[in-house]
Amino acid sequence: MVRLVNKARTCALHGAGKVRRWFNHTARRDHVVRRLRRRRGECVRCGACCKLLFKCPLLVERPDGTTACRIHGNRPGNCRVFPMDENDLGDRDHLMPELPCGYYFVEADDAPPTEAAAAD
């Protein structure tokens, strides 16, 4: 019973994250741009963000533990902006706490954008 409740809680958390990202990316582009200005680091290809709520069928898991996307150049906007803030990091940390995301966020909202964030 406890496992079922935990599973339901995880599904609700990850589902809410997907809706939040979709809404922000679709209807609040300025908000997303501001968030991405604070983002630093780079993807370490852990694949955690591709397994939120369900495992993306386009995810490729390599024997060395890294991952790739079959449509990386044409991936959806939701994927391009992940993580857009600490909430997203919290979602993926819930799934893969032992390996942190390669991205992190600085405090200042008006921090100059990194090259990668500006391109997103």
Alpha carbon separation from 67 to 59, 83, 87 (Å, rounded): 7, 16, 22
- Label residue 53 left, alpha or beta by phi (over 0 means left) and psi (-120 to 50 means alpha): left
Structure tokens at 29: 């582009």
Which x/- pattern over 43-82 shows residues binding ligand SF4 (rule: CB under 6 A)? xxxxxxx--------------------------------x
If one asks whether residue 105 binds ligand SF4 (CB under 6 A), the answer comes out as no
> Which range of residues in 7-15, 32-40, 52-60, 100-108 is near ligand SF4 by CB under 6 A?
100-108
92 Cβ neighbours under 8 A, 6+ residues apart: 48, 49, 52, 83, 101
Nearer to ligand SF4, 34 or 45 (CB): 45
Nearer to ligand SF4, 45 or 75 (CB): 45
Q: Of 14, 103, 105, 117, which lies in the binding site for ligand SF4, with binding defined by CB under 6 A?
A: 103
Size of the site for ligand SF4 (CB under 6 A): 12
User: Alpha-carbon distance 43 to 91, whole Å?
Assistant: 16
If one asks whether residue 92 binds ligand SF4 (CB under 6 A), the answer comes out as yes
User: Alpha-carbon distance 68 to 56, whole Å?
Assistant: 11
Residues in contact with ligand SF4 by CB under 6 A are 43-49, 82, 92, 101-103
